[in-house]
Amino acid sequence: MIRIAFVIPTLDQSGAERQLMMLATRLPKDRFQAKVFALNRGGFYADAIQAAGVEVEVLQKQFRFDPLTYIRLKGRLSHFRPQIVQSWLFAANSYVRFPGVCPAGTRVIISERCVDSWKSRWQLILDRWLSQRMLLMTANSRSVAAFYEKAGVPSGRIAVIPNGIDVPQEAVDKSALRQEFGIRSDERVLGFVGRLAPQKRLKDLIWAFQLLHQAVDNTRLVIIGDGPERQTLVQLAQHFGCYDKIVFTGHRSDAYKLMQGLDVFCLASEFEGMSNSLMEAMSLGIPVIASGIDANRELVQHEQTGLIFATGSSPEIAKSAKRLFENPELAKKLGQAGREWIRQHHSIDRMVQAHVALYDRFLLKDSSLCAG
């Protein structure tokens, strides 16, 4: 039995946490004994992980660098004695690579999930220094791998394993969103799901909708999620005079269910790793339009599985949405092609199998690249 410890800051309802949950709960139980350590707190996915028979322990981290968390994590890992420790996101990736945290001989794998242009110079320097204290970094897209190669992580220590997602078999149910928010059946809905943060460029989307609703009758914009920009976006919509045509749902634990009511999904981000919400929309057969950043282009082939627009161009967003609203056959074709792309290339089984193959490969790796 191979013992593997997963370490992550929280188990909140977000993309990296979801991927960890799916991996930890779907590893072959006849080969792997998994345990999840959350540095700060549990969260939305903790119950799902525990319900699958995987233990979760929260270490109650209080500060940016908390010596007590260092001591707790070191003690818990020493007791569990995993052959593999895999961490997710900056704080956890740093803790597991600090000297003495992982037991000697442990294979240390870290996971990066985004083109982290937000990182300061000291964080990138720390990443580069700690890269010598890991066996491997996994990245969820080629663009994330390229970012960390440029930051100084040796390319030979980076493996790309794309995100996985379920593709539903049943027909999409558009009723939940429309019934709750009073959207008529004849109204066409453009939407977004995710964190309301600057990187998502939602100001571009609202400006685009201001152009769109003047050119196409019976259109609505739905923004599912919450974040630091919410009030700014509300004020922008009021300034443009289109607030009454926009639905801000706030944070929703049933975001995936509400998403099914969208006619077109838009992701306008200036950087991503591999967007879970974009993948979810595609898996539902919803036609997508996305900014032309590298991470989005790994999922969306222009005119084949969706439409790509120049990042920051609200007129192009409006033009793409108008085209799909006015051409239902094209919208259906792109939606079906996107769904099939996700089914073939981004299933959860494919993601899990890629990790299992990686673990098998590196359990045989020379111990000079292990903790100790």
Res 52: pLDDT = 96
Two tokens, residue 142: 């080629």
Q: Which of 130, 131, 127 is nearest to 116 (CA)?
A: 127
Res 369: pLDDT = 47
Residue with tokens 């539902």: 284
> Which residues are 3's β-sheet partners?
33
Q: Which CATH class is domain 2-164+348-367?
A: alpha beta
Q: Do residues 189 and 264 touch, judged by C-beta distance below 8 A?
A: yes
DSSP-derived 3-state class of residue 194 = coil
Res 367: pLDDT = 45
Res 172: pLDDT = 74
Domains of the chain by residue range? 2-164+348-367, 175-345
Distance between CA atoms of residues 53 and 33, nearest Å: 10
Ranges of residues in the chain with a pLDDT under 70 are: 171, 365-372
DSSP one-letter string for 247-316: EEEES-TTHHHHHTT-SEEEE--S--BS-HHHHHHHHTT--EEEE--HHHHTT--BTTTBEEE-TT-HHH
Two tokens, residue 84: 């593999």
Contacts of 194 (CB under 8 A, 6+ apart): 200, 224, 225, 267, 275, 277
Res 91: pLDDT = 92
DSSP-derived 3-state class of residue 51 = helix
Interval 223-278: pLDDT, tens: 999 999 999 999 999 999 999 999 999 999 999 999 999 999 999 999 999 999 99
Res 171: pLDDT = 65
Record: fold of 175-345 = Rossmann fold (3.40.50)
Res 116: pLDDT = 74
Distance between CA atoms of residues 234 and 229, nearest Å: 9
Res 258: pLDDT = 95
Distance between CA atoms of residues 346 and 217, nearest Å: 36
Domains 2-164+348-367 and 175-345 share a fold: yes
- pTM comes to 0.87
Q: Which of 279, 248, 263 is nearest to 174 (CA)?
A: 263
